[in-house]
């Protein structure tokens, strides 16, 4: 008779981990593992204006086979995601500690009155992970990196990253690129390096089958210089007048909420003015509206100028079966190589040439769309499974330093 309550994925990982090659029962408490996921204090855990980190955390929990074991800790919001356990926590003594450490102190203060989780997973803040571990050495703490730690307080030196690696139970990275950034200057092999894992960002497909595409070039993201929006706008203004059936649509604002136009957005708008009705800047839009635009657009552009860790918009473009125009920056090639049109040196000139090719060469554009649809392994389920494996390693009997 089959087990009425079979062990879940994470219990099976633990069973295999401890068996040394032979199957043995999971640890008695493996069915009750609890995880606290700490957001950066500025992130909003809300469907209306979730930032990049909050969005990934939401996908991680929803795609997990053990979603009821996760508690997300963040600063208070008006309307948090209602299908995930959320604990709103105001920053403690901001005037003394600042935002990051003040949030860590608030969490530590809360833990004084309750049982500790099996793993504290700090998202995106090296100094918060280090502070919590220093104040509570008994806790198992993992650091989940969404950006280059070399640009972060608490991770910007080799010595700081070496200390994190020695003290924390796991380092989980959103791409191999970010993993390499963390290990820069450190030993890349051996027991300590094995604590660094990749759980590549992923998004689940919302379409059951490919849809008919409209002659639209779509950009979705923050309107900031490192995203290459101005260069894309300048490129489009050169190419689209020769192709009146095509249009460009830019979705997003400087932040993840409705605001007035920044000076950079004004420059983008000025660059698009010659296109008239062929160009549209929508500002911030609700997620459902963004998904509809992504599903319809023939071309989706992610023209990042900076070393992008691994943004979700490129994944969403591939998941929608659109032709992805992107750049060889950061972790982007990990998903785009062989599936997208990649620009090595992005500027207005190279992007204009790429747009011309994608618009005029129907065969090439359709080939990219077909490849994006047929070769898409980057699901949220895979991301969650990889993160689960990293957590199980962190919870194994390998002792922390």
Do 194 and 295 have their domain in common? no
Do 287 and 189 have their domain in common? no
Tokens 């086979």 locate to 65
User: Where residue 256 falls among pLDDT bands split at 50, 70, 90?
Assistant: low
Q: Which domain holds residue 110?
A: 9-24+32-203+380-394
In a domain, 134, yes or no: yes
Mean pLDDT for the stretch of residues 49-55: 90
In a domain, 388, yes or no: yes
In a domain, 266, yes or no: yes
Do 230 and 353 have their domain in common? yes
Do 279 and 261 have their domain in common? yes
Do 359 and 308 have their domain in common? yes
In a domain, 208, yes or no: no
Do 199 and 254 have their domain in common? no
Do 188 and 57 have their domain in common? yes
3-state secondary structure the chain: CCCCCCCCHHHHHHHHHHHCCCCCCCCCCHHHCCEEEECCCCCCCECCCCCHHHHHHHHHHHHCCCHHHEEEEECCCCCECCCCCEEECCCCCHHHHHHHHHHHHHHHHHHCCCCCCCEEEEECCHHHHHHHHHHCCCCCEEEEECCCHHHCCCCCCHHHHHHHHHHCCEEEECCHHHHHHHHCCCCCCCCCHHHEEECCCCCCCCCCCCCCCEEEEEEECCCCHHHCHHHHHHHHHHHHHHCCCCEEEEECCCCCCCCCCCHHHHHHHHHHHHHHHHEEEEECCCHHHHHHHHHHEEEEEECCCCCCCCCHHHHHHHHCCCEEEEECCCCCHHHHCCCCEEECCCCHHHHHHHHHHHHHCHHHHHHHHHHHHHCCCCCHHHHHHHHHHHHHHHCCCCCCC
> In this predicted structure, what is the pLDDT of residue 49?
82
Do 176 and 300 have their domain in common? no
pLDDT at residue 275 greater than cutoff 70:
yes
* CATH code (residue 45): 3.40.50.2000
Tokens 């249009």 locate to 247
Q: How many domains does the chain have?
A: 2
> In this predicted structure, what is the pLDDT of residue 255?
59
| Range with the largest mean pLDDT of 4-8, 10-14, 237-241 | 237-241
In a domain, 399, yes or no: no
Do 155 and 112 have their domain in common? yes
Do 141 and 86 have their domain in common? yes
In a domain, 400, yes or no: no
Do 220 and 197 have their domain in common? no
| Pairwise pLDDT comparison (253 vs 294), residue with the higher score | 294
Could you report the per-residue pLDDT of 157-210, keeping only the tens digit for each?
999 999 999 999 999 999 999 999 999 999 988 889 999 999 999 999 999 999
In a domain, 2, yes or no: no
In a domain, 328, yes or no: yes
pLDDT at residue 8 greater than cutoff 90:
no
Query: Cβ-count burial of 112 within 10 angstroms (0-12 exposed, 13-18 middle, 19+ buried)?
Result: exposed
Do 250 and 331 have their domain in common? yes
- Summary mean pLDDT of the chain: 90
pLDDT at residue 45 greater than cutoff 50:
yes
Q: Contact 171/142 with Cβ under 8 angstroms? A: yes
Based on its alpha-carbon atoms, the radius of gyration of the chain, rounded to whole angstroms, reads: 22
pLDDT at residue 76 greater than cutoff 60:
yes
> In this predicted structure, what is the pLDDT of residue 31?
52
pLDDT at residue 14 greater than cutoff 60:
no
> In this predicted structure, what is the pLDDT of residue 397?
52
């Amino acid at each position: 008779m089959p087990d009425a309550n079979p062990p879940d994925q994470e219990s099976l990982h633990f069973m295999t981990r401890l068996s040394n090659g032979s199957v043995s029962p999971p640890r008695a408490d493996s069915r009750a593992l609890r995880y606290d996921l700490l957001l950066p204090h500025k992130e909003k855990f809300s469907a209306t204006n979730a930032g990049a980190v909050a969005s990934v955390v939401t996908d991680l929990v929803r795609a997990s086979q053990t979603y009821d074991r996760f508690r997300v800790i963040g600063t208070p919001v008006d309307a948090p995601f209602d299908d995930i356990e959320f604990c709103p926590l105001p920053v403690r003594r901001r005037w003394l500690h600042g935002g990051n450490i003040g949030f860590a102190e608030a969490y530590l203060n809360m833990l004084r009155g309750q049982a500790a989780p099996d793993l504290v997973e700090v998202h995106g803040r090296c100094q918060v992970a280090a502070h919590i571990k220093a104040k509570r050495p008994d806790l198992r703490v993992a650091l989940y990196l969404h950006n280059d730690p070399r640009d972060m307080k608490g991770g910007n030196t080799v010595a700081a990253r070496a200390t994190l690696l020695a003290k924390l139970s796991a380092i989980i990275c959103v791409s191999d690129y970010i993993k390499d950034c963390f290990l820069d200057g450190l030993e890349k092999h051996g027991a300590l390096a094995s604590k660094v894992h990749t759980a590549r960002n992923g998004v689940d497909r919302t379409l059951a089958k490919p849809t008919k595409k409209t002659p639209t070039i779509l950009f979705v993201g923050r309107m900031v210089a490192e995203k290459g929006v101005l260069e894309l706008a300048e490129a489009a203004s050169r190419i689209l007048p020769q192709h009146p059936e095509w249009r460009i649509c830019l979705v997003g604002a400087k932040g993840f909420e409705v605001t007035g136009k920044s000076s950079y957005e004004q420059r983008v708008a000025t660059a698009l003015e010659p296109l008239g009705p062929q160009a549209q800047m929508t500002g911030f839009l609700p997620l459902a509206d963004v998904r509809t635009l992504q599903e319809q657009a023939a071309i989706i552009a992610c023209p990042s100028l900076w070393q992008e860790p691994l943004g979700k918009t490129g994944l969403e473009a591939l998941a929608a079966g659109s032709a992805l125009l992107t750049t060889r920056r950061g972790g982007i090639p990990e998903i785009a190589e062989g599936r997208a049109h990649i620009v090595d040196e992005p500027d207005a000139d190279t992007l204009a040439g790429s747009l011309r090719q994608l618009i005029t060469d129907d065969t090439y554009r359709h080939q990219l769309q077909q490849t994006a649809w047929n070769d898409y392994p980057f699901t949220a389920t895979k991301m969650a499974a990889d993160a689960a494996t990293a957590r199980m390693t962190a919870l194994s009997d390998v002792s922390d330093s």
